[in-house]
Amino acid sequence: MAEKRLSKADSFYKVYERTPSAIKDVTHYCPGCGHGVLSKLIAEAIDDFGIRERTIFMSPVGCSVFGYYYFRTGNIQCAHGRAPAAATGIKRAYPESIVISYQGDGDLAAIGGNEIIQAANRGENITVFFVNNAIYGMTGGQLAPTTLIGQKTTTSPFGRNPANEGYPIRVSEMIATLEAPVYVERVMLGDAKNTNKVRRAVRKGLSNQIDNKGFSLIEVLSVCPSGWKMTPVQAKQWMNDFMLKQFPLGVYRDRSEEIPVRESQRHVFSVDGIRDKLELPKSGEQTMQVEKPAAEFMNPRLKLAGFGGQGILMLGLMLAEAGMRAGYHVSWIPSYGPEMRGGTANCHVNLSERRIGSPVVSKPTVLVALNQPSLDKFESEVAPGGLIIYDTALVPNPPKRKDVKVLGLPATTIADELGNTRIANMVVLGAYVGYSRILPKEVVFSALPALIKRKNLLPLNELAVEKGMEFVTRMGS
Amino acid sequence: MAKQLIKGNEAIVKGAILAGCRFFFGYPITPASEVAEAAAYYMPQVGGTFIQAESEVASINMVYGAAAGNVRVMTASSSPGISLKLEGLSYCAGAELPLVLVDIMRAGPGLGNIAPEQSDYNQIVKGGGHGNYKVIALGPNCAQEMCDLTMLAFDLADKYRNPVVILADGFIGQMEEPVEFPEAYASFPDKPWALHANADDEHRLITSIQLEPEMLEQHNIHLQEKYRIISENEVRYEDYMVDDAELVLIGYGVVSRILQTVVDDLRAEGKKVGMLRPVSLWPFPSAHIAELGDRVKNFLVVELSNGQMVDDVRLALMGKTPVHFYNRMGGMVPSPEEIYAQVKTIWEA
């Protein structure tokens, strides 16, 4: 139990230099308000735990906005309702710090409702002091989520009407339904006995954080004589008569004893093994020298299209990966988003000897169409003299253009014969590189492991590429 | 060093980690989700933290909290999510917190769609949030720059204690290209003003509130002075065949890639056409454009928006050179042929 003391807590600034007021030794709180008492109990606890130097105090918006005038700690002033989020950020950066989020009812239960629920639910190792005075104090006495039924405020001038404004929110009860929070208690600032309970709750909430046990929320009922338009004595009576009925005091969740004391894991900046961890290529991996293809197949602009699931995007990536390994400038751009879930898929690939301009292929020199709709849609776009590759097993109506080269092959049938219909895309890849001679087999094979995660499938994919190449060789002979 | 074929969105995360970023607070949205996904995968492996926040609002405020410390921190989103983050961005700018925010722009307004647009230019370059603030905005146009400009962004953010935005579009985010990743920074400079969770913190306050108008005016004057210094020192752009150009195309992001193709095609015909690509969208290369305006006959600005950057081009030229404008919206991206036709019209007029 802390000793009774007469001097100001060491965890308050001796002089409140940051206040614009000419008077630098009193707080901005109104006479009779509970904030000053709660602040004092917190500051004394910080003193007694010896944690001042590593404490960071969050001041959001409300009467708590000027917490940084008083607390001789690290201070972050933050946006309305966002203290639990900002507290999460700084606590994650400094797990060894003690982060205090000090919030009022408008801030915590209205605009910051989601932030407090989610921070509690993540079990952030922070301590939240929630001052519930059933009103917006700082802005001059407006309706809060905690305003009582019938209570008159400047924005409920006829009294809170449930039909219009709903009912007062019981925050402690709500937070206590979550798994993660360690300790949730509602206390009140009033007589000496209750204030003692507040003192104990403050210390328990901080102690839990010091021991890295997790999230604690202490809801503190407090009077607001200014907002309620009462004298401090009337206000105290009103709190006893009405607020306590709506907001019963008590411990709503307490797992403090169950959870073991833990060491905080300091964040340590390190770059050890970072290139491996980021899966960056080894510097030894060299570009492979390749022979140039015939001029008509140089610098291809490809559009590849089919049904989602046919491996169209993978086919494009293989080409880009192999092209890069052959020293070409390459780009790959997919149709993305909902389109790739089910419907059609297409991608654009460029392989070029010089810096690539538009990655979007509007006039392809090569169209790969693995289904009829793709051929029908894109056939007219192909540049004169270009190449159309299509799967004869799936495209019953062949291309009609006479000014382009056409390569039809039963890719899906060949893939089925290999025992896996999903590698038809690799058969097409083999056919394209075999036909155009843009890339040798070795380069294509070297690219496969970069994209095929299941290494046991590599031989099958290689075989599929070879079958595609064989098809065009047979066709040509 | 060997290259890696990689999606722009992932290159951002690898670049960020190489630049010392270890904290990422995100929220999923197409077409930016791969940034969060890559951060979720790599951050824990490098001793960093990834949290999927409950909202864009919470995410930027988590960034606000972490950026108050001596660490490097970022988040990413796409247009509708950026709108939500702007409140927080204003606070970050006001409190002079360094952070990197990635915007992989999609089409709007409202939910719009997930295809690329450049209609966040105004909300990033002109403020968007409340107050007299500026953020440094960098517009990459390839996967390599997604890495390089992200690394630069962290340095600029710390150097000026200011948010830096990577303003890219859906195509630049989704595209895969080879990237050569530089060496990781062994460390980054200490931030003496930041919270360190130690005894010096009692003198440190992170805040955007200044209750007294006199003080807030002083703070604003200080910010404007900082922005002036940034304007003088951090303008970045790329000239492409502008030396003898009579007509200069201006575009950023994926548009600049299309414009390059158009310039190549027109040069092949002997037409003196070039391209200017602003890399820093704020500060904007106004002086350079004004200087080009003395010798160029026409400018054609192309944007995936209703015409946002074009205002800055016009301001830079103050009417001395004709500025033509061509745009697509709603996720439509112009083909080189479309722009070629526009240039022909100007050329033959």
Which candidate in A103, A271, A282, A339 is best for mutational testing of the B interface (most B CBs within 10 A)?
Answer: A271
Mean pLDDT of B108-115: 96
- Res A339: pLDDT: 46
- Res A352: pLDDT: 97
- Give the contacts of B221 (CB within 8 A, at least 6 positions apart): none
For β-strands A216-221 and A250-254, DSSP reports them as: unpaired
Q: Which residues of B touch A334 (CB under 8 A)?
A: 174
Q: Say if residue B253 is in the same domain as residue B343.
A: yes
Q: Say if residue B142 is in the same domain as residue B224.
A: yes
State whether B69 and A68 contact (CB < 8 Å): no
CATH code assigned at B251: 3.40.50.920
Q: Say if residue B218 is in the same domain as residue B119.
A: yes
Q: Which residues of A touch B196 (CB under 8 A)?
A: 94
- Res A2: pLDDT: 53
Q: Given 3-state DSSP classes, what are the helix, strand and coil percentages for chain B, each rounded to the nearest 5?
A: 45, 25, 35
Q: Which residues of A touch B201 (CB under 8 A)?
A: 53-54, 56, 73-75
Q: What is the Cα–Cα distance from B345 to B323, expressed in whole angstroms?
A: 13
Q: What is the Cα–Cα distance from A147 to A150, expressed in whole angstroms?
A: 8
Q: Vertex B142, ends B138 and B144: CA angle to 5°?
A: 90
A298: left (phi over 0), alpha (psi -120 to 50) or beta: beta
Confidence of residue B127 (pLDDT cuts 50, 70, 90): confident
Q: Which residues of A touch B198 (CB under 8 A)?
A: 53-54
- Both tokens of A225, joined, read 């004589």
State whether A115 and B58 contact (CB < 8 Å): yes
Q: What is the Cα–Cα distance from A402 to A399, expressed in whole angstroms?
A: 8
3-class DSSP state of A99: strand
State whether A89 and B66 contact (CB < 8 Å): yes
**What percentage of residues in chain B have a pLDDT greater than 90?**
98
Q: Which residues of A touch B20 (CB under 8 A)?
A: 269
Which residue of chain A comes nearest to B172, CA vs CA?
A333
Query: Distance from A206 to chain B by nearest Cα, in Å?
Result: 16
Residue type, A18: R
b/e sequence A130-144, b meaning 16+ C-beta within 10 Å: bbbbbbbbbeebbbb
Q: Say if residue B228 is in the same domain as residue B266.
A: no
State whether B88 and A87 contact (CB < 8 Å): no
**What percentage of residues in chain B have a pLDDT greater than 70?**
100
Q: How many domains does chain B have?
A: 2
Chain A stretch 5-34, residues whose beta carbon is closer than 8 A to a beta carbon of chain B: 13, 18, 20
- Res A138: pLDDT: 92
Residue where one domain finishes, among candidates B233, B258, B286: B233
Q: What is the Cα–Cα distance from A344 to B152, expressed in whole angstroms?
A: 38
Is residue A304 within 8 Å of A332, Cβ to Cβ?
A: no
- Res A476: pLDDT: 78
Sign of CA dihedral A322, A325, A331, A335: positive
Which residue of chain A comes nearest to B206, CA vs CA?
A76
State whether B65 and A282 contact (CB < 8 Å): no
Which residue of chain B comes nearest to A321, CA vs CA?
B5
Nearest residue to A119 via CA among A103, A134, A96: A103
**Which of B1, B51, B57 has its CB closest to that of A283?**
B1
State whether A360 and B333 contact (CB < 8 Å): yes
Q: Say if residue B53 is in the same domain as residue B165.
A: yes
Q: Which residues of B touch A449 (CB under 8 A)?
A: none
State whether A324 and B5 contact (CB < 8 Å): yes
Q: Say if residue B308 is in the same domain as residue B227.
A: no
Query: Distance from A362 to chain B by nearest Cα, in Å?
Result: 6
Half-sphere exposure of B237 (CA within 13 A, CB side): 21
Q: Please list the residues that pair with A250 across neighbouring strands.
A: A186
- A–B: how many Cβ contacts below 8 A? 241
Parts of chain A with a pLDDT under 50: 1, 338-340
Mean pLDDT of B163-190: 97
Which candidate in B41, B206, B304, B338 is best for mutational testing of the A interface (most A CBs within 10 A)?
Answer: B206
Residue ranges of domains in chain A, CATH in brackets: 35-254 (3.40.50.970), 295-476 (3.40.920.10)
- Res B24: pLDDT: 98
CATH code assigned at B179: 3.40.50.970
- Give the contacts of B249 (CB within 8 A, at least 6 positions apart): B259, B262, B263, B273, B274, B275, B276, B299, B300, B301, B302, B339, B343
CA dist A25 → A21, A34, A61 (Å):
10, 18, 22
Q: Say if residue B64 is in the same domain as residue B83.
A: yes
- State the DSSP code for A329: E
- Both tokens of A56, joined, read 């960071």
Q: Please list the residues that pair with A131 across neighbouring strands.
A: A104, A220
Mean pLDDT of B88-105: 98
Query: Distance from A254 to chain B by nearest Cα, in Å?
Result: 25
b/e sequence A384-420, b meaning 16+ C-beta within 10 Å: eebbbbbbebbbeeebeeeebbbbbbbbbbbbeebee
Is residue A80 within 8 Å of A105, Cβ to Cβ?
A: no
Owning domain of residue B126: 4-233
Q: Say if residue B225 is in the same domain as residue B283.
A: no
Residue where one domain finishes, among candidates B174, B198, B233: B233
Mean pLDDT of B192-204: 97
Residue where one domain finishes, among candidates B215, B233, B251: B233
Is residue A347 within 8 Å of A304, Cβ to Cβ?
A: yes
* Residue A317 touches partner B, C-beta closer than 8 Å: yes
- Res A340: pLDDT: 47
- Res A337: pLDDT: 54
Q: What is the Cα–Cα distance from B216 to B132, expressed in whole angstroms?
A: 11
Assembly ipTM: 0.97
Is residue A304 within 8 Å of A368, Cβ to Cβ?
A: yes
Q: Say if residue B201 is in the same domain as residue B227.
A: yes
Sign of CA dihedral A326, A329, A335, A341: positive
State whether B88 and A282 contact (CB < 8 Å): no
Q: Please list the residues that pair with A391 across neighbouring strands.
A: A409
Query: Can you give the length of chain B in residues?
Result: 349
pLDDT single digits (tens) A102-147: 999 999 999 999 999 999 999 999 999 999 999 999 999 999 999 9
- Res A155: pLDDT: 97
Q: Say if residue B120 is in the same domain as residue B212.
A: yes
* Residue A355 touches partner B, C-beta closer than 8 Å: yes
- Res A288: pLDDT: 85
Q: What is the DSSP string of A23-44?
A: --SS-SPPTT-SHHHHHHHHHH
pLDDT single digits (tens) A382-403: 999 999 999 999 999 999 999 9
Q: Which residues of B touch A359 (CB under 8 A)?
A: 171, 175, 177, 254, 257
State whether B260 and A76 contact (CB < 8 Å): no
- Both tokens of B153, joined, read 């962004």
State whether B197 and A85 contact (CB < 8 Å): no
